[in-house]
């Protein structure tokens, strides 16, 4: 229990949350169709849904990082972790994260769509904020509507699991050569691990 409630787990969780918020804030417009949105709806359309997206990502990465590092601390207990253990821990952490944060992503998607020129029939409400969106969804569609897509989202837990697995492998390989990694080293191995995971799981993301 001490490993689960440790400062180290909290430290990893906060770092993951802040890092994801920073990346999302910088690259958020790049996730949209820039030319189409800018031409038809103006520059601010590129940032529609920015706050709920950043909030959802912050909570999601906090939960995932905290769960991953807590489970790893309990299972590994200070010993050298293995590739298999990292993959299993990453998968379990992804499942926990999906079950806990799917409602936030449902609200995030609804708020991104609202106000768009091309509306969908199932998203025509006017949400004033995250709390109001939760209230309207539960009131009009029931509480289970907040969990829409949970089971299909479970397919994507392989993405962070594979990412963290390769990250740990690359990190330990480099630590065999160097006693300490620089921020640039961590950035590069994180980028490479993310690229491998995204490429490998892209078909599931498409589905």
Span 126-146, average pLDDT: 86
Burial 77-114 (b: 16+ CB within 10 A, else e): eeeebeeebbbbbbbbbbebbbeebbbbbbbbbbbbbb
Band of residue 122 on the pLDDT scale cut at 50, 70, 90: low
What is the residue range of 111's domain? 7-206
Residue 35 lies in a domain: yes
Percent of the chain with pLDDT over 70: 82
For Cα atoms 185, 157, 107, give the angle at the middle one, nearest 5 degrees: 105
Residue 164 lies in a domain: yes
Residue 46 lies in a domain: yes
Residue 78 lies in a domain: yes
pLDDT (0 to 100) of residue 120:
52
Residue 114 lies in a domain: yes
Residue 2 lies in a domain: no
How far does CA 109 lie from the centroid of its chain?
A: 14
Residue 96 lies in a domain: yes
Residue 1 lies in a domain: no
pLDDT at 180 over 60: yes
Helices 50-76/83-113 angle, 10° precision: 160
Question: Model confidence over 26-74: pLDDT tens digits?
Answer: 777 665 544 456 556 666 667 766 777 788 888 888 999 899 888 888 8
Q: Is the pLDDT higher at 206 or at 171?
A: 171
| CATH number where 16 lies | 1.50.40.10
Mean pLDDT, the chain, whole residue set:
80
Q: Is 38 helix (H, G, I), strand (E, B) or coil?
A: helix
- Domain count within the chain: 1
Question: Model confidence over 73-119: pLDDT tens digits?
Answer: 888 776 777 888 888 888 899 999 999 988 888 888 887 777 554 45
């Amino acid at each position: 229990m001490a490993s689960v409630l440790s400062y180290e787990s909290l430290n990893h969780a906060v770092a993951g949350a802040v890092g994801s918020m920073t990346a999302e804030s910088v690259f958020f417009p790049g996730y949209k169709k820039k030319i189409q949105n800018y031409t038809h709806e103006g520059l601010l359309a590129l940032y529609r849904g920015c706050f709920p997206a950043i909030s959802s990502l912050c909570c999601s990465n906090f939960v995932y990082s905290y769960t991953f590092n807590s489970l790893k601390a309990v299972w590994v207990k200070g010993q050298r972790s293995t590739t298999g253990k990292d993959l299993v821990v990453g998968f379990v952490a992804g499942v926990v994260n999906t079950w806990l944060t799917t409602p936030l992503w449902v609200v995030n998607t609804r708020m991104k769509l609202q106000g768009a020129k091309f509306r969908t029939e199932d998203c025509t409400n006017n949400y004033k904020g995250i709390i109001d969106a939760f209230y309207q969804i539960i009131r009009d569609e029931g509480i289970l509507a907040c969990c829409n897509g949970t089971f299909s989202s479970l397919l994507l837990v392989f993405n962070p699991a594979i990412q963290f697995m390769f990250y740990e492998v690359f990190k330990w390989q480099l630590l065999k050569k160097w006693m300490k990694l620089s921020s640039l080293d961590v950035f590069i191995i994180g980028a490479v691990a993310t690229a491998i995971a995204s490429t490998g799981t892209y078909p599931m993301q498409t589905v």
